[in-house]
Structure 1
Amino acid sequence: MTEKPAYNGKVLVAGATGKTGTWIVRRLQHYGVPVRVLVRSAEKAGPLGNVDVVTGKIQNPEDIAQAVRGCSAVISALGSSQMFGEASPGEVDRDGVIRLAEEAAKAGVKHFGLVSSIAVTKWFHPLNLFGGVLSMKLAGEDHLRKVFSQDGRSYTIVRPGGLQDGDPFEYRLKVDQGDRIWNGFTNRSDVAELLVLSLWNEKARNTTFEVVSEDKEPQQSLDYCFEGLTQG
């Protein structure tokens, strides 16, 4: 599959023990990129293989600062799992991403990739009934764009459809901008591949885009998804 130029630097993956985060770690390892993970429990990181583990919580700026120190990039697959409390959309999808972006910028991280969602600008979308999750994701996006579009930093925000399991490169992908896609699914592995490619594909810099799967059609590379994107 896609060949990459040499990438010098370690990448922090937040949300690494979730289904999408695990795929991000796998794709980084596929390309030989050193990985660090921020996890609540070192035991949970065991199945991830050869990774640098920092234990801590996304609610604690000191833990985040330790995790991002020495990393050149961050990829966040953070996602809420409860309506209320520490795992709520407000605590994770908004405040967690905001804290992570702030600490990453302070530490000199140059690139930040984020898993978001289609329909984040649609406050009336049914998904928003889960603790305002779409609005919380949008707030996290907005802060990331503000912090990482200056001082030589960059970001890539991927807004997938409903996340599904499956190997990468199995489907032709449809990419759009402007939050005009209301439904569809996306393989977690393809989302992971796109965010890993954003580390070295210049056309991914400072872009926000939606992506869903179309026809089942083996792909040799997903670099085509960045063609024609506008920044923002």
Structure 2
Amino acid sequence: MDRKILYTGKVLVAGATGKTGQWVVRRLQHYGIPVRVMVRSAEKAKIFGGSVEIAVAHVQNESEVADALKGCDAVISALGSSSFFGEASPAEVDRDGVIRLADAAAAAGVKHFGLVSSIAVTKWFHPLNLFAGVLSMKHAAEEHIREVFSKNGRSYTIVRPGGLKDGEPLMHRLHVDQGDRLWNGWTNRSDVAELLVISLWNRKAGNKTFEVISEAEEAQESLERYYDGLSQ
């Protein structure tokens, strides 16, 4: 079956110009899904060559975010901090920015919210939390999304990858787990993007939070099977 017919809504991609966000855009386009990218400047969106709708918005600005969401049916957030301090810090982006985006999405009638998070987000003593508490900030955003998007007909999918690498999608066998028990491992950004894109139509992905790391090289026909057996 041609997957292009399985989701016809428009998707807003936040953090679209980052490495993972770019893969989200590519995988959405692969399935023929309309894309709008939320970027801080139109100049940054030139990497997409005019193939997407562009919404210029700062995640710190509530009204700009609300405008970016108009007409969108789903959101995939690949937002991530790039500084320890200021408006690009974990507190401003990974926590407050994602929370602001989720609240605005719910208010706009968005039905599904996908989030790139991280393994070990519940481990306050993990070494990554030395970087301005980035894991704790991500976890706070996760908790808010679960609260807002698990009711009133809405749904969410939160993917917690290991360390992110570049590479083509569907080239590795994956290991998925729940309960934040994985401490290390790596994941291709493209596979993280693929998992979030297929969550748009795979009912088993609804209201799921899970960790994922890559295992051996092994071509995958689809990643949909990795949603089988996940608990709430």
Instruction: Provide TM-score, normalisation by structure 2.
Output: 0.98
Deviation at 1:43, TM superposition (A): 1.2
C-alpha separation between the residues in 2 aligned to 1:62 and 1:9?
A: 22
CA distance in 1 between counterparts of 2:3 and 2:183 reads: 32
8 Å contact from structure 1 (residues 2, 221) kept in 2: no
1:168 maps to which residue? 169
Secondary structure at the counterpart of residue 139 of structure 1? helix
Residue 79 of structure 2 contacts residue 93 of structure 2 at CA under 8 Å; is this kept in 1? yes
In structure 1, what is the Cα distance between the partners aligned to 2:219 and 2:139?
32
Name the counterpart of 2:219.
218
Q: Distance in 2 between matches of 1:230 and 1:214?
A: 22
Structure 2, gaps ≥5 residues long? none
Distance 2:139 2:13 in 1: 20
Q: More displaced, 39-48 or 124-133? A: 39-48
Equivalence for 2:197: 196
Equivalences for residues 34-183 of structure 1 within 5 A? 34-49=34-49, 50-183=51-184
What letter corresponds to residue 51 of structure 1 in structure 2?
A: V
Deviation, 1:2, is 8.0
Identical positions, percent: 72
Distance in 2 of aligned mates of 1:6 and 1:217: 26
Report the secondary structure of 2:43's partner residue. Answer: helix
Amino acid corresponding to residue 153 of structure 2 in structure 1? G
Contact residue 161 and residue 186 of structure 2 kept, 8 A: yes
Match of residue 29 from structure 1 = 29
**Residues 113 and 157 in structure 1, CA contact (< 8 A), matched pair in contact too:** yes
Q: Is the 8 A contact 1:170 1:219 kept in 2?
A: yes
Q: How far apart, in 2, do the equivalents of 1:151 and 1:188 lie?
A: 31
Maintained 8 Å contact 1:93/1:140: yes
User: Contact 1:13–1:35 at 8 Å: present in 2 too?
Assistant: yes
d(CA) in 1 for partners of 2:212, 2:13 = 21
1:3 is displaced (CA, Å) by 3.2
CA RMSD, Structure 1 to Structure 2 (Å): 1.1
AA aligned opposite 1:25: V
1:78-133 CA deviation, whole Å, 9 max, x = no partner?
00010000000000000001000000000000000000000000000001111000
Alpha-carbon separation, structure 2, partners of 1:62 and 1:175: 37
TM-score, structure 1 normalization: 0.98
Q: How far apart in 2 are the matches of 1:228 and 1:7?
A: 23
Q: Tell me how far apart the structure 1 counterparts of residues 210 and 4 of structure 2 sit (CA, whole Å).
A: 22
CA deviation map 1:206-229 (0-9, x unaligned): 000000000111111101110101
TM-aligned CA deviation for residue 4 of structure 1: 5.0
Residue-pair matches, total: 231
